[in-house]
Structure 1
Amino acid sequence: MDSYVQSRKFAGSSLLLARGGEEVFFHKTGLRDIASRASFERNTVARIYSMTKPVTSVAIMMLAERGLFHLDAPVSNFIPAFSNMQALVEGATSIDQTEACATPTLHQLMTHTAGLSYPFNPGVLAQAMDQQSLIFGPQQGVLETVVDQVAALPLAFAPGTRWEYSVSIDILGRVVEIVSGKSLSEFFRDEILGPLGMHETSFSVSPEQNARFASLYTPLAGDAMALNSASAGQETLRCVDHVTDSAFVDAQTYSGGGGLVGTIDDYMKFAEMLRGHGALGDVRLLSPKTMSFMMSNHLQGDIASMGPQSFAEQPMEGMGFGLGGAVVLNPALARCAGSVGDFSWGGMASTFFWVDHANDMSAVFFTQLSPSSSYPARAELKALVHAAM
């Protein structure tokens, strides 16, 4: 961690490790804001981006446990805009080259096999999404409106035929709103964040957190998320989002796929709930059976066998996908030390977490550098942790 700061790869970072429910290691280093020389502290507030996805997936499963829907239900049952879907034909070169296809199910949305995409992926659909800025940023309006814009576009492929990292969990965030009758922010607060004691985590940076909100940096010359046109800049730590003008200070769009900000201790509570088979102390969000179901591989094989054509920040060989995160099937094929069954995911700002039931361990790593594919920090971190045990 210190060497990454010294070589100007990361401005600062923090790591928290727990085994058997007890903290065994914490380290912080570097700066949360280079300009002011403010240090990266334990209570630094960071953008967790896609580490929001497991939280939304837990929300969906909490509603499923209440018998409010089943996972094979088509999403059009909840969002009519997804009726009468079209998918791009094989080899399509324009967005109008489509054919009729089935409507994605909730399960396909949860496993990124629904046919949706992200603007930073390659492909025709991603280009169309990029033109409309369909990335569910904090200031893109109410969730319902952005979801309907996504539904108006064709799918990249027929649901269930491939794996592609996508905004599908954002669509599920809207399902949570419709089924629960609450905004996603309210549901998270009342049903997940509040009960777990994650009081520093939300979609917006509070006034009290302003002084602790980390700046976001990139080594790229252009947009930190425009991966299709990415080119290295002369400055490895160029600031692209600061609290004085950050959209996260007052979020309007509740992105279940990437909208939460919070502290490392807060996210460790969520990771420990996963390690605890759905419970943290006396608080239970999901049954052990449901949690085991979520953390199992839901693909026919590994992600690589599903023909992915999307952005990847970790190997897809030897890695399956559960509900809300990746599952290690074969550490050798994944080319990284670990245990079979490790459940993990990361965020675009290079944050990362994993839960290892074999070693009774939870790990949470925070930093603020986009894109997360800039350096092999996650594989190096896992190797160091396993070497230390």
Structure 2
Amino acid sequence: MNTSSKNSLAVWIDGTQEYYTYSLDVNLKITGPTTERFIEIGLTVHEVEGAKKINLFCPFQIDSSCIENLGETLTKKPDTLGAMFNSTVSVSSDPTNASSEVTLNGTKKLHICTLGSDIFDVTPCENDSSLISINFDNCISKKTNNGSYYFRFRLNKLQGLHEEESGTPYWFAGKKEEYSYLDFRVNMPRSLPNSIAVKAFKDKLLRIHVFLLVDTSQKIVFGTKSPKDTRLLEKDDWKGYFPKKNKAFSFLHTEEDKAKIVAYHWKKEYSYENDANNDYDLFVKLITEKSNKKIILTAAIFTLIFGSASGVLGNYAFKALEDTTYPDALSKPNQVKKAENPAYDKKTQIKLSTQPNSKKTVVGP
């Protein structure tokens, strides 16, 4: 998230009730190019009587063109909807097309807003932050307590979601390590402007699910909370939900590629008997191992130069050893023979060869 001290999301609902209860589902894709990063918010409002506006404070700048409402997409993909809620689902559309009623596991009813992204109002705030608002009157035609209302939207092309740090390259392995740090916070008073913290504190967050989506080449090396579970993102259930233009999810649209996204899942439920606050925080350190052709080439060149230099230095060292330790013994072998055999003189160099059956006797030097 934002690297400043005010780096928390915040949620509150304006209306006539003293407080409202809600639940959050958050998908985070924080690494990769900016075009692949996003925060996906699923917000369930459990009582809507008197509710007028939902507010989401973001500690970063966001343009309204980067907000994508996913309600209609979900209602057209029951397999994805069922995977999202881990339930059996049936969908029936509202005649006004403002929402669809979804039945989970045969009993629980959920109204999903299916209008376009024009329902979002974005207001710039101080310190490069933004306020996203959803007006209930614009997106829900008939308010009823028969079930909860669910909004799901994606904030695309985000910057400042995490910090990165390059590690030491492993030259001979041809790879390097990169570290990513996620500091995710919701309704954290010390990480919010006071005027926002006061508004967020009045409502009650019943439960929060956080999903961190990472490439299979990444792994968590540290976290302030242990994940509830971890799984590979299922191709059949999520195909078509994530756009093809996001290359991180391109494997969903091909038959050959295997799953390449791992989903880490954290969950917290609030009782308000022991939880005085409705805040949440999660810090995670990720490590990514990357193959690097430049590292491989540099290591190969270094090895070649080192090997050549070692050969030249070895020859020089052996020559120096030869000249200093055994100067006569190694360079003048004939003199050694003379020293070892005093009788060895010029006369002994005369080679006499006689053959019994030979007609000639050859005498020569």
Higher CA-based Rg: 2
Higher helix share: 1
TM-score, normalised to structure 1's length? 0.23
TM-score, normalised to structure 2's length? 0.24
Higher strand share: 2
